[in-house]
A and B are shown apart, each in its own frame.
Chain A
Amino acid sequence: MGVKLLLDKANVPGIRTYEVYRREGGYRSVEKALKEMNPESIVEEVKKSGLRGRGGAGFPTGMKWSFIAKPEGVPRHLVCNADESEPGTFKDRYLMEFIPHLLLEGLIVSSFALGSHDTYIYIRGEYAWITDILEEAINEAKANGWLGKNILRTGFECNIHVQRGAGAYICGEETALIESLEGKRGNPRIKPPFPAIQGLWQRPTVVNNVETLAAIVPIINIGGEEYAKIGVGRSTGTKLISACGNINKPGVYEIDMTISVEEFIYSDEYCGGIKGGKQLKACIPGGSSVPILPANLLLKTATGETRYMNYESLSDGGFATGSMLGSGGFIVLDEDQCIVKNTLTLARFYRHESCGQCSPCREGTGWMEKILHKIEHGHGTIADIDLLWDIQRKIEGNTICPLGDAAAWPVAAAIRHFRDEFEWHINNPVLSQTSNFGLQHYADPIHVPA
């Protein structure tokens, strides 16, 4: 069993309530931070921990915090990103639903470090019942003196507010989230200025993911150095992985980042193997935006090394032969799944979620969906594959926000690794409507050049 820092108490009956959470040692990090530390030393501790943002981009949290501007007399804000809308990702939901006080505890310490007196949790609108759970937890924390004015008689004031979104993936992008929090459409802003300088209501703002902010609690409790000892290289601490698709045990797992992908998929402690005794065909290891990998490149890198569940190992080989840890949304496809159809549903998703501000993204996502639809339904031509490749290349890097890239990558990776399957679809327009290409060579051992 690996180390658990976030979900170690998840199975304690009643841990959702303040009483049990506190009895199990909850809110100790707030006592330590407010009484024994100051904002600067907390930021230092977070830097030492090596914590990287858990929302998908993996940016070092301590460094991000140190960028926040501190103009005299201007309030600053911490915003917690609980928009969680990347297909395959449902880890933040688990944490908020079952241990809401862990998030609040992390938010109070982080608000103290950043000087935020009004901190907002922006939660996707569909998580309506979790909004109620969080509101309830906030009321409990307030009643017990952890929120409000003069917390622990230190003079520090902190209020936490929960804001529901209303159905828009793009609002997970931090500047779109800020726009939405201001009561506007979720159109991403052009950067610079970065939120750390001009964010919510033009005030200095830090946006962090739910899991990132929860991880602040163990970092303060055990110290940044101890935290950094868990894991490997620049992948420090633990990571929540939400596993789904054709596996025996879908769910949310906390891993320390030293386990192999193979162990994660096949061990009974985690995914428990492929459902129905079938074979693994492919996997999208970090949320729908990251490149899909065929089984052979997933378990081993192109140079034949074992692949591990961490930032560096999953991206080994770059986009040519690797992928990304991303948000930790781990989507497993068995031998019966059709890559063309899977890619089509993702293309449809990105077309639906494009905010429409930039033409390469607005038009490109629409085109990609149309062409994939054509291929999937037996009307494609070989030239369509090249056209798809061309369109995705023209989107990537040419847009205001990274949604454009996020839409382009899944299509690019599907063609890069599964071109045979696309061609088979096109060459067998009738057969492909009733049967699948299957596993073919996608799990064959990879040839490592000597």
Chain B
Amino acid sequence: MTYTFNETQMAELNRLVARYPEGKQKSALLPALHLAQDSFDGWLPTELMDYIASLLKIEPIEVYEVASFYSMFNLKPVGKFIFEVCQTGPCMISGSDDIIAYIQEKLSIKPGETTKDGVFTLKLVECLGACGYAPMMQVGKIFREHLTKEKVDSIIAEYRATVTN
């Protein structure tokens, strides 16, 4: 499959590149990969990374090595919504284990897996900077904090409703 940014996406890329001095366009790589991941299917297939390399005039390997370093870049297909639940110390002592177990039970998937309908992926992550509002998870751009089982139920229902309609 080949990928092409539409006009808006291209304008955003150009805005990103313009923030750096002449010849330093590689600095836009992380923001460009975010843009690419958000613009297409939520992950970075090789063809998409190659496309970014061509836009930034760098070698494909320079993109691959960066994409594989950072945890927010997905190198495999993911569900429509990713529940990224924090499991580090402060969240753990505030009850994240129970929340993780509950989500696994509700969605019948283990960490790293995606539901059969392709809607939810469960991912365990390390501290997201919300330790005072634990337990918590990130879904897309937002943080869902002070999680309880009831809250998890309503969050799942909320996202599910957006796909069945």
Q: How many Å lie between the Cα of A89 and that of B89 in the bound state?
A: 12
**Chain A residues, CB < 8 A from B21:** 75, 118, 201
Q: Decide yes or no: A127 and B129 within 8 Å by CB, A163-B31, A183-B26, A201-B21 being known contacts.
A: yes
Q: How far is the CB of A47 from chain B (nearest CB, A)?
A: 31
Known: A167-B70, A181-B27, A182-B26. A342 touches B89 (CB 8 A): yes
A345 at the interface (CB under 8 A from B): yes
User: Is the beta-carbon distance between A90 and B27 smaller than 8 angstroms?
Assistant: no
A166 lies within 8 A of B70 (CB): yes
- Which partner residue on chain A sits nearest B86 by CB separation? A87
Which B83-100 residues sit within 8 Å CB-CB of chain A?
Answer: 87-90, 92-94
Interface membership of chain A positions 87-109, coded 1 if the CB is closer than 8 angstroms to chain B and 0 otherwise: 11110010000000000000000
A75, A90, A164: the one contacting B132 at CB < 8 Å is A90
Given A87-B127, A244-B132, decide whether A183 and B28 contact each other with a Cβ distance below 8 A.
yes
- What mask results when residues 335 to 366 of chain A are scored 1 for a CB within 8 Å of chain B, else 0? 00100011001101100110000000000000
Contacts of A164 in B (CB 8 A): 30-31, 34
Residue in contact with B66 in the complex, picked from A89, A118, A185, CB distance below 8 Å: A185
A242 CA to B128 CA, complexed, in Å:
14
- Structural contact, B126 and A349, CB atoms closer than 8 A: yes
A180 to chain B, nearest CB (A): 7
Is A250 touching B93 in the complex (CB atoms < 8 A)? no
Q: Is the C-beta of A380 less than 8 angstroms from some C-beta in chain B?
A: no
Say which residue of A124, A182, A185, A251 sits within 8 Å of B129 (CB atoms). A124
- On chain B, the residues within 8 Å of A227 by CB distance are none
Classify the interface of chain A: helix, strand, loop or mixed: mixed
Q: From known contacts A126-B129, A165-B30, A246-B94, infer whether A184 and B66 are also in contact, taking CB-CB under 8 Å.
A: yes
Q: How far is the CA of A161 from the CA of B70 in the complex (A)?
A: 21
**Total A-B Cβ pairs within 8 A:** 143
B76 beta carbon closer than 8 Å to chain A: no
- B1-56 interface (Cβ within 8 A of A): 19, 21, 24, 26-31, 33-34, 56
The answer to whether A90 touches B130, judged by C-beta atoms less than 8 angstroms apart, is yes
Within 8 Å by CB of B138, from A87, A126, A333, lies A126
Residues of B close to A88: CB separation below 8 A: 89-90, 127, 131
Q: How far is the CA of A245 from the CA of B132 in the complex (A)?
A: 7
Complex interface residues of chain A between 118 and 151 (CB less than 8 A to chain B): 118, 124-129
Structural contact, A90 and B92, CB atoms closer than 8 A: no
How many chain A residues sit at the interface, stated as a range, is 35 or more
Residue of A nearest to B97 (CB): A341
**Interface status of A326 (Cβ within 8 A of chain B):** no
Chain A residues within 8 Å of B119, by CB: none
Residue B105 is within 8 A (CB to CB) of chain A in the complex? no
Question: Given contacts A184-B66, A342-B92, A342-B93, is CB(A126)–CB(B72) below 8 Å?
Answer: yes
Whether, in the assembled complex, A331 has its beta carbon less than 8 Å from a beta carbon of chain B, the answer is: yes
- Say which residue of A87, A118, A168 sits within 8 Å of B88 (CB atoms): A87
Q: Is the pair B88, A163 in contact by a Cβ cutoff of 8 Å?
A: no
Does A288 make an interface contact (CB < 8 A)?
A: yes
Chain B interface size, under 10 / 10 to 19 / 20 to 34 / 35 or more: 35 or more
Which residues of chain B come closer than 8 Å to A245, judged between CB atoms?
A: 90, 93-94, 131
Whether B89 contacts A168 by the Cβ 8 Å rule is: no
Given contacts A88-B90, A125-B34, A161-B19, contact A167 B72 (CB under 8 A): yes
CA distance A245 to B95 in the complex (A): 10
Contact for B93 among A118, A129, A182, A337, CB less than 8 A: A337
CB neighbours of B65 from chain A (8 A): 185
When the two chains form the complex, which single residue of A165, A329, A345 contacts B70, counting CB atoms closer than 8 Å?
A165
Residue A308 is within 8 A (CB to CB) of chain B in the complex: no
Q: Which of A28-80 contact B (CB under 8 A)?
A: 75
A316 interface residue per 8 A CB criterion: no
- A89-B129, A331-B131 known; A185-B69 Cβ under 8 A: yes
Min Cβ gap A335→B in Å is: 12
Q: How far is the CA of A267 from the CA of B78 in the complex (A)?
A: 46
Contacts of A181 in B (CB 8 A): 27
Q: List 29 A-B contacts (CB under 8 A).
A: A75-B21, A85-B129, A87-B90, A88-B90, A88-B131, A90-B129, A90-B131, A93-B129, A127-B129, A164-B34, A165-B70, A166-B30, A166-B33, A166-B34, A169-B126, A182-B26, A183-B26, A183-B30, A183-B58, A242-B132, A244-B90, A244-B131, A246-B93, A288-B88, A288-B127, A342-B92, A346-B88, A349-B89, A349-B127
Additional pairs, 9, CB under 8 Å, beyond known A87-B88, A87-B127 = A88-B90, A182-B24, A183-B30, A183-B56, A185-B69, A243-B132, A250-B132, A252-B132, A346-B89
Q: Name A's B-contacting residues (CB within 8 A).
A: 75, 84-90, 93, 118, 124-129, 161, 163-169, 180-186, 201, 242-246, 250-252, 284, 288, 329, 331, 333-334, 337, 341-342, 345-346, 348-349, 352-353
B residues sitting closer than 8 Å to A (CB atoms) are 19, 21, 24, 26-31, 33-34, 56, 58, 62, 65-66, 69-73, 87-90, 92-94, 125-134, 138, 141-143
